[in-house]
Amino acid sequence: GAVVSQHPSRVICKSGTSVKIECRSLDFQATTMFWYRQFPKQSLMLMATSNEGSKATYEQGVEKDKFLINHASLTLSTLTVTSAHPEDSSFYICSARQGGNYGYTFGSGTRLTVV
Amino acid sequence: GDSVTQMEGPVTLSEEAFLTINCTYTATGYPSLFWYVQYPGEGLQLLLKATKADDKGSNKGFEATYRKETTSFHLEKGSVQVSDSAVYFCALSLNQAGTALIFGKGTTLSVSS
């Protein structure tokens, strides 16, 4: 089945630094990937839609200069949290759709803690 | 707008009890419907799906039927186990290229032995 690999699974960084999270589709090509943020005991909040070879589409209220998304190939999308602050601490999850009726496959998530 | 509403939790059950988690949706067109499960500290795993009216998705003893007349996709399991303790998300896809899943708020299930 379709597999999406996301790493790192956990990262702790100092306030003011940047952190990059990678999301790879291992056995299929994903022209579109999605980035979500999840707060404790809450649902997933869509942050942006990442399109291969073009600019990401951000949801309202998401700072595109803070959350940089790059989708340079059909199998890789990256989310960079720039100048991270403690309020950026959260669980970030990526997702990719294989197309047709295959549904959406999710990465295992990244727990970001900014200290 | 398009949305998913699922029952609020937490749902607390004893092992071998019957489980129902209600999910209703509002959507234009003909969406596909999904249930995902999230274990603590992990990403989401697809539990089951249905792509058209009257389809029944099933997996690991869980079932859900796509009911267009009631715009519902309730999740059921006849006999829950402690290992089923997790958060369950109902979601829909508008089946349009490049669009993300629309999630419900999630329902926490806790099963005790």
Residue B41: per-residue pLDDT: 82
What is the DSSP track for B26-95? E-SS--EEEEEEE-TTS-EEEEEEE-STT-EEEETTEEEE-BTTTTB--EEESS--GGG-EEEEEEEE--
Going by pLDDT thresholds of 50, 70 and 90, the confidence category of residue B98 is confident
Q: How far, in Å, CA of A3 to CA of A26, rounded?
A: 6
Nearest to B43 among A41, A43, A93 (CB): A93
**Chain A residues whose C-beta sits inside 8 Å of any chain B C-beta:** 6, 31-32, 34, 41-44, 46, 49, 51, 93, 95, 101, 103-109, 111
Residue A99: per-residue pLDDT: 65
Q: Which residues of chain A have pLDDT under 70?
A: 99-102
Contacts of A100 (CB under 8 A, 6+ apart): none
Contact (CB, 8 A) for A19 and A112: yes
Beta carbons of B106 and A32 less than 8 Å apart:
no
Phi and psi (nearest 5°) for A79? -120, 120
Name the least confident of B29-33, B62-66, B83-87: B29-33
Residue B54: per-residue pLDDT: 95
Residue A54: per-residue pLDDT: 84
DSSP state for residue A74 in the 8-state scheme: T
Which residues in chain B are contacts of A32 at CB distance < 8 A? 97-98
In a mutational test of the A interface, the residue from B33, B46, B49, B92 whose CB has the highest number of chain A CBs within 10 Å is: B46
Please report, rounded to a whole number, the percentage of residues in chain B having pLDDT higher than 90.
Answer: 81
